[in-house]
Amino acid sequence: MFFGGNSLNPRGDTFFHKDGRPVPVACSIASAVLAGERADRQPMVSWENELEELRRRAALAERMGGDEKVARQHGRGKLDARARISGLVDPGTFREIGKIAGRGTYDEAGELEAFTPSNFIFGRADVGGRPAVVSADDFTVRGGAADAAIHRKFVQCEAMAHEFGLPLVRMIDGTGGGGSVKTLETTGATYVPHVPGWHHVVTNLEQVPVVALALGPTAGLGAARVVASHYSVMVKALSQLFAAGPAVVAAIGEQAEKEELGGSEIHTRNGVVDDQAESEAEAFARARAFLSYLPGRVGTAAPRLASSDPPDRRDPELAEIVPREAKQVYSMRRILGAVFDRESVFGMGQRWGRSVITAFARLNGWPVAVLASDPSFLGGSWDAKSSEKAERFVRLADLFRLPIVHLVDNPGFMIGRAAETAGTIRYGVAAMNAIYRATVPLASVIVRRAYGIAGSAMSNAERFQYRFAWPSGDWGSLPIEGGIEVPYGAELESSGDYDAHLGLIRDRLNRIRSPFRTAERFGIEDIIDPRDTRPLLCEFADLAWRRLR
């Protein structure tokens, strides 16, 4: 029989005999029921053998490189890849993708004899209650080398983060998919270098937060995967990072141990890696904290958290923290702790470019990016490294649409032969350009000094200036302490008492340089009681997020 339809039954469920005669609906239904009953009487097909095979292969994958190599990994003071994933993600949320991918060996009957899993594990998990893509290199399988990797897993991991707009955390231990000399023999040929799926790495940096944790020796592609991130962490005495390891470097006549060549003391001070952790657990905690301030992807809003810290809190310490003597230092980090929500300041890149503080924090629960000079290092002057650090951080804040708060105490770009040799002015102008290009709301607070070109990098002067100054504010083209004797040289020489006359000139200029004189001309928008800084910045954060959400 076949099916047809008519005006009374437009769905096409009328039944017909082969000769064209219609079959009564009741008969057709009865026939269908009987056919179903006959099908039900067929013996049930069992897939239990295949399901058992699946369970067996999954169990083999969970053994990673085998008991001996896992024990060796633990003996080095390192967690294994699966333990690392468990330590990072919210409990019970990891779903592995491609778990049974690897290399099997088979007997003559085609039965699996042995199985070596891929040394790259990835999947979907929750981190801080939000979905993310998480990966971990398995050093117990060929030390993370390419001849144990399946490159498509790496590609699919990066592609998943891109496709679904999910944050990505890479835990890297080994070459991370890079090559080894032994690959030549196993493949029987060499190749022109390329990295499958690297375009996903580049794209992810433009669209989702990317965190990289170096949790062992990382070289070649593994090192590149660490650096190609928004936030990177090395573990002290456990992680090393290099373009090529000691054995390869020896070929050019240099002898160096791993730590000496690429330890965290080197790379967290030169800006290659952002931060150093004391343990793997601390590295996991820093990754979770970093992600908590950012949105899941570009184009969405970062989460606001409930805050028990009153937005109108006024800290009495702020009225006395800045010394009157210009050469005396104070703690900018104490100001951050007093102004932002309690326990909310998360410093980033604390060991390099140290005259600039970069951090995330919250104001009445709203996340913000914080840029501040640190007068305890180089007097707060921006050198080449601190300028590079400021530029990178401002671009990161602008990419993920976080309002910026800039606490200013900048006597200028670093000067002198070393500063010129390092190309300070080029890096300084790049930092200034990043600030002027930023499109997110920015508030600046002039705590003390703002001099020269570096001082003008506090904010984009062509936009509305959401700006405040403390009474300790001191600004101009250059500090008068270093600029009096040249323009007033002749007057000082003819004064009869050089030092006394120099003091008179300095007193006269100090009265002119009063921040209140600038405020008279509306050269500074508002001079405030330092204790009002937090309430005013909370107001800024509320207005900024009204625009950004």
pLDDT tens digit sequence for 315-350: 999 999 999 988 899 999 999 999 999 999 999 999
pLDDT of 32: 53
Task: Give pTM, 2 decimals.
Answer: 0.87
Question: What CATH number does residue 117 fall under?
Answer: 3.90.226.10
Are 221 and 261 in a shared domain? Answer: yes
Instruction: Decide if 441 is inside a domain.
Output: yes
Mark whether 252 and 399 lie in a shared domain: no
Residue 449, strand partner residues: 474
Distance of alpha carbon 398 from alpha carbon 542, whole angstroms: 17
Here the tokens at position 82 are 């699966």
Q: Which of 316, 324, 403, 413 is nearest to 363 (CA)?
A: 403
Confidence (pLDDT) at 536 = 98
- Give the chain's end-to-end CA distance (angstroms, integer): 62
Closest-CA residue to 299 (of 204, 165, 442, 404):
165
DSSP state, 459? S
- Name the stretches of the chain with pLDDT < 50: 1-11
- 330 and 369 fall within a common domain: yes
Note whether 537 and 442 are within 8 A (CB).
no
Co-location of 338 and 453 in the same domain:
yes
Q: What is the per-residue pLDDT for 128?
A: 97
pLDDT at 181: 65
pLDDT at 490: 77
Say whether both 19 and 67 belong to one domain. no
Number of domains in the chain: 3
**Together in a domain, 114 and 24:** no
Domain for residue 250, yes or no? yes
Q: Within this chain, do residues 89 and 129 fall inside the same structural domain, yes or no?
A: yes
Rounded CA separation 545/367 (Å): 9
Q: Are residues 374 and 489 in the same domain?
A: yes
Tens-place pLDDT, residues 2-60? 444 444 444 455 555 556 566 555 555 555 555 555 555 677 889 999 999 999 999 99
The reported pLDDT for the residue numbered 185 is 73
pLDDT reported for residue 449: 94
Alpha helices in 41-150, H assignment, sequence order = 48-62, 67-75, 81-88
- Give me the sign of the Cα torsion angle 534, 535, 540, 545: positive
Model pLDDT for residues 271-296, shown as the tens digit of each residue: 999 999 999 999 999 999 999 999 99
Is 10 found in the same domain as 71? no
Tell me the residue range of the domain where 26 lies.
2-40
Q: Indicate the DSSP class of residue 293.
A: T
Name the phi and psi angles at 236, rounded to 5.
-55, 130
Is 299 within a domain? no
Residue-wise pLDDT tens digits, 294-309 = 999 999 999 999 999 9
Same-domain check for residues 400 and 479: yes
